[in-house]
Structure 1
Amino acid sequence: MTNGIRFSVSNLAPPTSRILPTLLSYRLDVSLYTAQYDPETGDRVPIPDEVINEVVAALLRFKIICNDLSVPRKHIRIIATEATRTALNSEEFRKEIRNVTGLEVEMLSEEEEGYVGALGVASGFSDVSGLVMDLGGGSTQITWITSTAGRVEVSPKGSVSFPYGAAALTKKLKELREGKSPEDGDAAVARLREEMRTNFANAYNDLQVPENMIQKAVSEGGFPIYLSGGGFRGWGYLLLYLSQVHGGHYPISLINGFSASKAEFEDVERLKKVARQADKIFRVSDRRRAQVPAVAFLVNVVAEALPHGIRIAHFAQGGVREGILFRELTPDVRERDPLEVATEIYAHKSADAISNLILAGIPKPSQTGGRSFPESISKHVIHAFCNVLYVHSPMSKEAASTAALYSTSTGIMSSTHGVSHEDRALLALMLEERYEGELPPRESQFKQSLRGILSSEEIWWTRYVGTLGLLLSKVYPAGVVDEKTPRIKVDSEWASGFGKRKRKEGLRLILSIKKMEHDPMMLREVEDQAEDIKKVGKQKHWIGGRAGWGMAVDIDIREVEEF
């Protein structure tokens, strides 16, 4: 509770616990940090009575909403952070809340706030490894984190906190210049910069960053950094605005999972200019705009202070709220992939069997030639694709491809917590191909924008996997696979000797079809769809044209009596 007070109701019941489904979320626009400073003198004051009354009234209303949603009273929690912890009348404030609402305020210590914030970041990604910073209104925390297979590890020192929050730093920078000449003001700001640079450099040393993380930063040109808190989210939305208005047509407007390169993240002058001049910026309030120079100052200092620098910045929606919820989950629940969890509720009972068929259509890594399926397209994405393979099939042909294309960004999976933008793009493009890849002109630009998130190799494979999914949907139109009497078996291998001159390399897809006298059309369906898969391998259909990325695809269809 610093720059605003957030209210939410989440459902941690299986099977969707991992993605922290939110039933309701809203925000009370009360800044407890700002309320603790006299607007005329700038002196620190207790939280005013009128602010306390407004907060208490909002909490009473929230209790009514929880009752409407059948939330047991014992599950209603009030979590307090920096602004409440450091308030001059913190005890009185919390006592008033308890007396009127009957709810106890849970106060997070400085160290616990940093740890819980790091858990909130971990909740927003399948795997995390890097530095973490949380920028609130009154303070900023820094630590490191690794999260793999549900096991989360942070620095043994917890996190290091500084009073450099977005609101606090805005106020401090203003005070340093007030009543001074430009030269004296610049000198005062320079001293603050050096103080902050030294503090962050010391914090890095104190946090005992793992040696393997450091070596990876050295070899790759810097640390990945995960950013949460309102101050950094505002910075992220500015970058998102630039990528959609000035830098192209970036297709996904969700902050969680959005990433920026070092050059983009540290281009502070450009972002300050946009904050000053743009008429309206999506998800950036006037208060956030006013704080942009202070956030820019912080970004500059951190970039200078961290050894080996920042390679890439990942923005996270998760913070203390998500961290508190994520902490409640068992390790086996945490390790589940968010995309698979989100799509399981749509899966036909044979989704796993279809997934196995898709995976059989992808050759194993070559032992000699080095050819392999991209590691960036995980089995989780393939499983998710098979889970939702039939979701849009009841729709008309005009709508199915479009609805599938938008499903991961504004459709049925848009609110899924913990999915990267790359995985959203991969799944959306696979699904669009599964519905024959036919789009009206208006949607073609969106498809190209999604492709822009991925490499040419990844795009080609989304076409191949999506078209293979279309073929299997023709073999099993109801999505029901009887594995005792299968209709089709799939195999694949890397091969060469394709084309008129027998020089091309690619893959061979082997489809064994069980001969069925009572279903004479099935073989024809397979042959027709196999031709579409073969077209994916034609050079003119490669990503980037004949000189782009792709490979030949050979189809070997075998009609058999028995498997």
Structure 2
Amino acid sequence: MAVAMSQQSPDHLRAVVDMGSNGIRFSISSLQPPTARIMPTLYQHRVGISLYDAQYSAAGGRQPIDQHTIQAVVSSFQQFNSTCKDFGVLDDNITILATEATRTALNSDDFRNQIKQSTGWDVTMLPKEEEGRVGAMGVASSLPELSGLVMDLGGGSTQLSWLIKRQDAEGVSMPEQGAVSMPYGAAAMSRRLQEAEKTGTVAKLKHEVQTAVKQAYEDLKVPKELQETARRKGGFTLYLSGGGFRGWGYVLMSSHRVTPYPIPVINGFKATRKEFLDTQDVKQAAAASLEEDEDSIFRVSERRAGQVPAVAFLVNALAEALPQIKEVRFCQGGVREGHLFSTLSPEVCAQHPLVVATQPFDSPNASTAIADLLLAAFPPEPMDAAVDDYKSVFTLATLDAFANLMYYHSSHSKDLQTSSALRTTTSGVLAGVHGVFHEDRTLLALLLCNRYGGEVPPSDEQFKHNLEQLVDSPWTLWWLNYVGAVAALLASVFPAGVADRSKGRIQLKASWSKDKKHRSLLTLRITFGRDVDSQAFSKELSNIEKVGKKKKRWIGGRDGIGHKIAVELKGAASP
């Protein structure tokens, strides 16, 4: 999400350095209301210095971090110091966080002292448990709600935890100790797996990892509530973060059933247990990317591709050591996001990221009134919730975000409106928003596109089709067409948004009935105000009814999915 520097107060700027095992991440974020929940990033830069690799000689022995590497780190810190001054970050709002590689370095004191001497900054070393807690908070920041197990795969270590964060509750629940740390990071596992393959002790290493993971799970004392939820749903959701797992996620995206996968960001991507455990296909894809440049996988570096066998080894061990896993979610949040998220109030943490991100684009007083009207366009209860549960899909948060952005593309020419709206969540104004499910990005993009009629130019037809392929149910696709048509009517009735003087222009009420052939019939009763001529909106009214036409708008055609629609115009609305 683009953030104008001129609108940012220095008091709300936060600079964070995450000095990990595989790289050093520099960032400047804003915690200024009302968008603090999504922690907009003003600047970010990664330096690919592996402090883990620097501590191992070619022969495999442990050694201090060499002076050449230290100087490269110091140089990058000095550059970031200059960047912080350019952005106006206050000295008290600069934080340096170091994890496993710095904590265990043989010359850690000297290394940190050289950083202090060159920049004046103290390096805060996170203890194992605190690193796990901060990492878990980073995962918590990554999605609107979470309930399940969490694993953070760094370069030198892996943390296991559990997490509960509900949208209707304040705060985040996790173990008192934050997480259990194990020495099985991506870089560490690569080295140990290579040694085990040379000595024929792979089975012994696998047993060691499984024993450690099982013990870590026992030590976490997962709440009965979480265990019961997992039993009822067929397994836990496993939330994954850290560079090693994100690399795995990008490989899965590259081989997804929908190709090319239309959402480039890894945060919020979901994979089934079967997909996650298909280590053979993932290893083959990674190997191909190493052999030829043209087969390289988006966002998977040569280093990450080289670590895939070690991650696959860990994934196989997890599958046998952990309780049943139903699905996995990949999360972008790490130490940086966790540190920032920990400083926010419980009330802010509980906000829905998509609603927060779209609030700056809301016309005065528009979104609440529009969202209420959109809700009124749905019948109170589904005809058959088992197959068409629109109430669980089109949540209040989704409709609020849609209402906030409903006028954003109105100033574009008609040639651009549908395409620009369709790209809103992937390369448009919401592309960089932190904390959103892929499902929400998909729904909002299609809603915004359909609000302008849904017809895209040939250059965007495949992209739209791929987004539609990500929608789980054809019923949802039909409702997307319906809500888009209703939104187009509301935008015509309220071209400048909803003001106090215009609230009585229209009222909606939806209900179910049966047609002559006893098929479901959605009746939308529309009551216009006394000063509104319904004839002015004949095209929009006709488009709503067309969504119910089998041949043209049902998903799958005449024998496909959809409901018939009847639009009824009533007498004048109350002023």
5 Å matches for 1:4-43? 4-39=23-58, 41-43=59-61
Within a 5 Å distance, the mapping from 1:22-171 to structure 2 comes to 22-39=41-58, 41-148=59-166, 149-171=169-191
**Deviation of the 1:228 alpha carbon:** 0.3
Per-residue CA shift, 1:241-292, capped at 9, x if unaligned?
112xx75332111100011111111000111011111321100111111100
Q: Secondary structure at the match of 1:345?
A: helix
Q: Distance in 1 between matches of 2:449 and 2:384?
A: 34
Trace 1:295-444 onto structure 2 (pairs within 5 A).
295-307=311-323, 309-349=324-364, 350-365=366-381, 373-444=390-461
**TM superposition shift of 1:314:** 0.4
Give the equivalent residue in structure 1 for 2:261. Answer: 250
Structure 2 CA distance for partners of 1:368 and 1:394, relative to 1, 3 Å: closer
- Choose the corresponding residue for 1:221, options 220, 234, 251: 234
The SS at the match of 1:131 is: strand
Contact preservation (8 Å) 1:132, 1:227: yes
Q: Which residue of 2 aligns with 1:548?
A: 560
Q: Give unpaired runs (5+ residues) of structure 2.
A: 1-19, 290-294
Aligned-partner SS, 2:202: helix
- After the TM superposition, which residues 458-537 of structure 1 pair with which residues of structure 2 at under 5 Å, given as runs? 458-482=476-500, 486-496=504-514, 498=515, 501-516=516-531, 522-537=533-548
CA distance in 2, matches of 1:60, 1:515: 68
1:17-45 per-residue CA deviation (whole Å, 9 max, x = no partner) reads: 00010000010110000000112x21101
Displacement of 1:465 in angstroms is 1.1
Residue number in structure 2 paired with 1:190: 203
| Alignment check: 8 A CA contact 2:370 2:498 kept | no
Q: Residue deviations 1:27-66, cap 9 Å, x none? A: 0110000000112x21101111111111111111101101
Q: TM-score, normalised by structure 2?
A: 0.92
Alpha-carbon deviation of 1:487? 1.0
- 1:351 is aligned with what amino acid? S
Residue by residue, what CA displacement relative to the aligned partner does 1:274-322 show, whole Å, maximum 9, x if unpaired? 1111321100111111100000000000011112x21111000001110
Q: Secondary structure at the match of 1:374?
A: helix
**Aligned-partner Cα distance in 1 for 2:312–2:189:** 11
The answer (yes or no) to whether the contact 1:363–1:373 under 8 Å persists in 2 is no
Corresponding letter in the other structure for 2:175: S
- Paired residue for 2:7? none
Post-superposition shift, 1:150? 3.7
Residue 489 (structure 1) shift? 1.2
Question: Structure 1 vs Structure 2: percent identity of aligned residues?
Answer: 46
SS at match of 2:165: strand
- Cα contact 1:374–1:458 (8 A) shared by 2: no
Which whole-Å CA distance do the structure 2 matches of 1:513 and 1:346 have between them?
A: 27
User: Structure 1 residue 236 and structure 2 residue 252: aligned?
Assistant: no
Distance in 1 between the 2:502 and 2:249 partners?
A: 52
Tell me the C-alpha RMSD between the 2 structures. 1.7
CA distance in 1, matches of 2:573, 2:243: 63
* Residue from 256, 262, 277 that aligns with 2:273: 262
Output the amino acid matched with 2:425: T
Runs (4 or more) in structure 1 with deviation over 6 Å come to 367-371
Q: Where does residue 207 of structure 1 map in the other structure?
A: 220
Residue 483 of structure 1 deviates from its aligned partner by 5.2
Tell me: CA distance 1:561–1:552, structure 2 relative to 1, closer, same or farther (3 Å): closer
Q: Helix, strand or coil: the match of 1:340?
A: helix
Deviation at 1:368, TM superposition (A): 9.8
Please say if residues 382 and 390 of structure 2, whose CA atoms lie closer than 8 Å, have aligned partners that are also in contact: no
Instruction: Give yes or no for contact 2:258–2:470 (8 Å, CA) kept in 1.
Output: no
Structure 1 unmatched runs, 5+: none
Q: Alignment partner of 1:152: what SS?
A: coil
Deviation for aligned residue 1:546: 2.9
- State yes or no: 1:446 paired with 2:471: no
Q: Is the 8 A contact 1:494 1:508 kept in 2?
A: yes
Matched residue count: 545
Deviation (angstroms), 1:99: 1.8
Amino acid in structure 1 at the alignment position of 2:208? E
Q: What TM-score comes out, normalization by structure 1 length?
A: 0.94
Q: 1:253, 1:144 → 2: CA distance?
A: 27
Q: Distance in 2 between matches of 1:562 and 1:261?
A: 51
Aligned 8 A contact 2:390 2:476 in 1 = no
Matches of 2:175 and 2:123, distance apart in 1: 27
Comparing 154-163 and 293-302, the one that deviates more: 154-163
Question: What per-residue deviation string (whole Å, max 9, x for no partner) do you get for residues 72-131 of structure 1?
Answer: 111111001111111111111111111221001111110010011011011010000000
SS in 2 for 1:554: strand
**Mapping 1:287-302, distance limit 5 Å:** 287-302=303-318
Larger displacement relative to structure 2 (545-554 or 108-117): 545-554
Contact preservation (8 Å) 2:507, 2:573: no
Distance 1:37 1:534 in 2: 69
Q: Could you report, residue by residue, the CA deviation over 1:183-219 in whole angstroms, capped at 9, with x for unpaired residues?
A: xx1xx11001011111111111111111122122223
Q: Secondary structure at the residue paired with 1:284?
A: coil
Deviation at 1:486, TM superposition (A): 1.7
**CA contact 1:79–1:106 (8 Å) conserved in 2:** yes
What is the alpha-carbon distance in structure 2 between the residues aligned to residue 313 and residue 485 of structure 1?
44
Deviations, residues 427-453 of structure 1 (Å, cap 9, x unaligned): 111111111112112212111111111
In structure 2, what residue type is equivalent to 1:199? A
Query: SS of the residue aligned with 2:361?
Result: coil
Counterpart in the other structure of 1:284:
300
Letter of the 2:49 partner, please give it: V
**Deviation per residue, 1:329-362 (Å, 9 max, x gap):** 0011111100011111111012211111111111
Do the aligned residues in 2 keep the contact of 1:474 with 1:525 (CA within 8 Å)? no
One-letter amino acid of the counterpart of residue 327, structure 2: I
Q: SS at the partner of 1:395?
A: coil
CA positional deviation for 1:502 = 4.4
